[in-house]
Chains A and B, each alone.
Chain A
Amino acid sequence: MLSETSRLLLTERLKNYPPDRKASAVIYACYLAQEDNPDHYISQQDVRDIADLLDMDATEVQGVIGFYSLLYEQPMGKYVIHYCNDLPCTLRGADQFLHVLEHKLGISHGETTPDGLFTLEEAMCLGACHRAPCMQINLEFQEFLTDDKVDRIIDMLRAGEPLRANMADAVQLLPQSPLA
C-alpha cells in the first residue's frame, strides 16, 4: 500500500507533466512504493494502486517494473548493494572485490543475507570508473574501495550507523544536500 505521504508526493509530482500524461510519473510512483514497503519491493497491491492513480493498466505498470534494474518485484534487503564489475572497474581489480564482498556477507551475488540486511547485486557501469573499484549501497556511492573499506562499511551498517556516500572515508568526496 502506498502511504499517505507517498500519495501526496505523487500528486505533487504529477504537476510536472501535462494533466493527461499521468503515466510519466510511473517510475517515481514505483520508487515511492518500494520505499514504503518494509521489504523494499513493489507488491501486487502496489501495482494495482499505481495503475489506478496514474490511469494505467496494471499490466503496463508490471511491464515497466520488469524492465528497469532498480525496480524490484521480489523482497530485497534493507541495503541493496550494487557492485560494479564492468570492464573499467575490472581493469582495476574489481572482480577480486566481488569475492571480498561475497565472503564478508556470506552470500553470492543475487542473494540476500538471512537477517534481511543486505542484498548483493552485480551492477552495470555506475559512472565511477575513475574511482574504481566502486559500488552503490541504496544508490549512495562507495568509491576507491579496498578490502579494509569494504570491511568497515559493512560493519558500520551492521552496527546501525546511518548510510551515506563514501562512508568509510574520513574526508567526504561528494558534497551532500538533501533531496528537495
Chain B
Amino acid sequence: MAEHILLHHRDIPGLDQMDVYEKDGGWATYKRAVTEMTPQAVVDVVKAAGLRGRGGAGFPTGVKWGFLPKDVFPRYMVVNADESEPGTFKDREIMEGNPHLFLEGTAISTYAIQSNVAYIYIRGEYLSTARILQQAIDEAYAKGYLGKNLFGTQYSLDMYIHLGAGAYICGEETALLNSLEGLRGQPRLKPPFPAAVGLYSKPTIINNVETLANVRPIVERGAEWYKTLGTEKSPGVKIFCLSGNIKRPGNYELPLGTPIRYLIEELGGGTYDGTAVKAILPAGASAPMIPASAMDTRMDYEAMVTAGSTLGSASFIILGEHDSVPAAALKMVRFFKHESCGKCTPCREGTYWAQKVLERINDGTGVVPDVELVETIANQIAGKCFCPLGEFATSPMIYTIKHFRSEFEAQVQGSRPRRNWREAVPQRLEPTLAMREL
C-alpha cells in the first residue's frame, strides 16, 4: 500500500502534533461537516461506505447509528478504547501515533448522531496513551474544534476521557456503560440495546477506536472511494495485529480481504524460529484457532467465518511447529478465568475447572478422559451465559482440541511437551527501526 490511511503517522513524521495534522488537512472535514452538512448526511455517507465495526462484531456502523430513537435527547457517544483482547494493540497505536485522526473521527461521528458529549473509555493500563489523548483534546479545545457554539453554529461538543481500572469485561459495551456509571463492570441484559437505553438510560452509541478513525477519511473522500478498498461486503482497510511466533510482529494496515499468507509470510517474515506455522489465532484468545492449512483464507468478515473462525479484532497470534497447543489452551483459559466477571455461574466456575484440568494435562499428570472433560466443560458453558465472554472462553477449549487432539492425547499418555516454555531460552529480537519509531 502506498500510503497508510489509519496509520498515516508512519508516513508523516510528527502527525500526532496539531500543526502537522492541520497541515495535512486535519480537522477541516469536521469543520465542513458541522458547517455544511446535516447530521443525517454524515450518517448517510458512513452507511453508504459500508464501514463495519472494528471492535470485533463487525456490525455496520451507519446502520447502528440509525437505531437511535428519533427526538430523544440528550444522546451520548461512548468510545470503546478498552482494548484488552490478548494480541490486540491497534487502538493503542492509533491513539498514540495518530490521536487527532481518531478524535476528529469521534467528533464527526458525535455530530452525526446529534450528541454533544463523547466519553472515551480507555483501559487503566493505557495511562500513558490517555495522557497523549488528553493533550490532543486540550489542543482541540484551544483551537476551537471542541467547546461551545463551534464555528459560529449552534453546535457544541465536549469530549472527556474516562479511565478504567483493569477489567477485560469492560470491553463488552453494556459492561462498559455500567463501569462508566460507577458500578461494577458487569454486563446488562439486552434488549434494551444501548441505542435505545444506554448511558444514564439515554440513547447511546458505542464505537471502537479504529471504527471512528475511519470516519474522517470516509467523509473527506466519499463512500465510493472507500468501497474501492477491501471486498464488497467488507469494504475498507483494517489494522491487523501480528504477534506470537513471528519474525516481525506489529500492526499492519491492509485492505480487508488480504490473504492470511501475505500477512504472515510476506509482512511478518514467517516464524522467528524458522519452523512451519502450525496454528493461527485470528482474533486473540476469543475466536476459534485455525490450523495452518487455512493460510490462504482471505481476511474479511465473511471468509473468516467460512474458514471456521471470525475476524474479530484481527489480532493474529501465530504458533509454530514446536509451540505446544495444550500449553496455549491453558494460557487462554487462564485469561478468561481471571477476567470472568463472576455474574454467571457457568462462566465463573467453568473457566476455573477447565483451567485445573488443563493444568493437569500440561503437567503430565492428566488422564486420558481429561481431554474429553475439557470439551464437556466447554459445552456446559456455551449458550448459558449472559454476555459473549462465556462464549469466548469456550473457543480455546473446543477448537484447540478439535484441530490438535493428538497433541492433547500425547500429553496425557506420558510424553512430555515438545517445548517446555518454562525452560525455553527466550527469543530476543532486535526491534526493527520501523518498530522503534512507533
Interface set of A (CB-CB < 8 Å, partner B): 16, 18, 21-28, 30-31, 54, 56, 60, 63-64, 67-71, 82, 85-88, 90-97, 99, 123-133, 136, 139-141, 144, 146, 165, 171, 173-180
Q: Enumerate chain A residues within 8 angstroms of B423, measured Cβ to Cβ.
A: 96
When chains A and B are docked, how far (Å) is the Cα of A69 from the Cα of B315?
Answer: 23
Sample of 19 A–B contacts (CB below 8 Å): A24-B180, A26-B182, A31-B163, A68-B165, A69-B165, A87-B285, A91-B328, A92-B427, A95-B424, A123-B125, A125-B88, A127-B84, A129-B315, A130-B242, A136-B125, A139-B124, A175-B96, A178-B135, A179-B134
When chains A and B are docked, how far (Å) is the Cα of A95 from the Cα of B13?
Answer: 36
Q: Does B160 lie within 8 Å of A124, measured CB to CB?
A: no
Q: Enumerate chain B residues within 8 angstroms of A88, measured Cβ to Cβ.
A: 86-87, 243-244, 317
Q: Does A130 lie within 8 Å of B89, measured CB to CB?
A: yes
Q: Enumerate chain A residues within 8 angstroms of B124, measured Cβ to Cβ.
A: 27, 68, 70, 139
* Minimal Cβ-Cβ distance residue in B for A27: B165
The one of A64, A125, A146, A177 that contacts B131, using a Cβ cutoff of 8 Å: A177
When chains A and B are docked, how far (Å) is the Cα of A31 from the Cα of B160?
Answer: 17
* Minimal Cβ-Cβ distance residue in A for B97: A175
Q: Enumerate chain A residues within 8 angstroms of B135, measured Cβ to Cβ.
A: 177-178, 180
Mark interface residues in B97-136 (1 if CB within 8 Å of A CB, else 0). 0000000000000000000000100011111101110110
* Minimal Cβ-Cβ distance residue in B for A123: B125
Q: Enumerate chain B residues within 8 angstroms of A92, measured Cβ to Cβ.
A: 244-245, 272, 426-427, 429
When chains A and B are docked, how far (Å) is the Cα of A178 from the Cα of B127?
Answer: 11
- B92 contacts chain A at the CB level, 8 A cutoff: yes
Q: Does A95 lie within 8 Å of B421, measured CB to CB?
A: yes
- B179 contacts chain A at the CB level, 8 A cutoff: yes
The one of B84, B132, B281 that contacts A125, using a Cβ cutoff of 8 Å: B84
Q: Enumerate chain B residues within 8 angstroms of A144, measured Cβ to Cβ.
A: 428-429, 431
When chains A and B are docked, how far (Å) is the Cα of A85 from the Cα of B98?
Answer: 28
Q: Enumerate chain B residues within 8 angstroms of A130, measured Cβ to Cβ.
A: 89, 241-243, 249-251, 435
- B144 contacts chain A at the CB level, 8 A cutoff: no
Q: Does B182 lie within 8 Å of A54, measured CB to CB?
A: yes
Q: Does A23 lie within 8 Å of B166, measured CB to CB?
A: no
When chains A and B are docked, how far (Å) is the Cα of A88 from the Cα of B319?
Answer: 9
* Minimal Cβ-Cβ distance residue in B for A128: B89
When chains A and B are docked, how far (Å) is the Cα of A138 from the Cα of B426?
Answer: 25
Given A67-B341, A91-B244, A129-B86, 9 more pairs with CB closer than 8 A? A64-B184, A90-B421, A91-B245, A91-B318, A125-B284, A128-B92, A131-B431, A173-B436, A177-B132
B378 CB, min distance to chain A CBs, angstroms: 18
Mark interface residues in B153-172 (1 if CB within 8 Å of A CB, else 0). 00000001011111110000
When chains A and B are docked, how far (Å) is the Cα of A25 from the Cα of B331?
Answer: 34
Q: Does A180 lie within 8 Å of B436, measured CB to CB?
A: no
When chains A and B are docked, how far (Å) is the Cα of A60 from the Cα of B185?
Answer: 12
CB-contacts of B407-438 with A (<8 A): 421-429, 431, 435-436, 438
* Minimal Cβ-Cβ distance residue in A for B119: A16
Q: Enumerate chain B residues within 8 angstroms of A95, measured Cβ to Cβ.
A: 421-422, 424
Q: Enumerate chain A residues within 8 angstroms of B300, measured Cβ to Cβ.
A: none
Q: Does B125 lie within 8 Å of A127, measured CB to CB?
A: yes
Q: Does A16 lie within 8 Å of B160, measured CB to CB?
A: yes
Q: Enumerate chain B residues within 8 angstroms of A69, measured Cβ to Cβ.
A: 165-167
B15 CB, min distance to chain A CBs, angstroms: 11
Q: Does B181 lie within 8 Å of A21, measured CB to CB?
A: yes
- B210 contacts chain A at the CB level, 8 A cutoff: no
Q: Does A127 lie within 8 Å of B338, measured CB to CB?
A: no
A16 CB, min distance to chain B CBs, angstroms: 4
Q: Enumerate chain B residues within 8 angstroms of A178, measured Cβ to Cβ.
A: 131, 135
Q: Does A24 lie within 8 Å of B182, measured CB to CB?
A: yes
When chains A and B are docked, how far (Å) is the Cα of A123 from the Cα of B124?
Answer: 12
Q: Enumerate chain A residues within 8 angstroms of B87, measured Cβ to Cβ.
A: 87-88, 125, 129
* Minimal Cβ-Cβ distance residue in A for B420: A95
CB-contacts of B222-263 with A (<8 A): 241-245, 249-251
Q: Does B426 lie within 8 Å of A125, measured CB to CB?
A: no
- B173 contacts chain A at the CB level, 8 A cutoff: no
* Minimal Cβ-Cβ distance residue in A for B127: A139
Q: Does B96 lie within 8 Å of A124, measured CB to CB?
A: no
Q: Enumerate chain B residues within 8 angstroms of A94, measured Cβ to Cβ.
A: 426
The one of B89, B132, B317 that contacts A175, using a Cβ cutoff of 8 Å: B132
- B67 contacts chain A at the CB level, 8 A cutoff: no
Q: Does A125 lie within 8 Å of B85, measured CB to CB?
A: yes
The one of A18, A68, A132, A171 that contacts B167, using a Cβ cutoff of 8 Å: A68
The one of B132, B243, B435 that contacts A129, using a Cβ cutoff of 8 Å: B243
Q: Does A87 lie within 8 Å of B332, measured CB to CB?
A: yes
Q: Enumerate chain A residues within 8 angstroms of B96, measured Cβ to Cβ.
A: 174-175
When chains A and B are docked, how far (Å) is the Cα of A22 from the Cα of B319?
Answer: 47
Q: Enumerate chain A residues within 8 angstroms of B426, measured Cβ to Cβ.
A: 92-94, 96-97, 133
When chains A and B are docked, how far (Å) is the Cα of A179 from the Cα of B163?
Answer: 12
CB-contacts of B364-418 with A (<8 A): none
Q: Does B89 lie within 8 Å of A127, measured CB to CB?
A: yes
Q: Enumerate chain A residues within 8 angstroms of B284, measured Cβ to Cβ.
A: 125
- B335 contacts chain A at the CB level, 8 A cutoff: yes
* Minimal Cβ-Cβ distance residue in A for B92: A127
B259 CB, min distance to chain A CBs, angstroms: 21
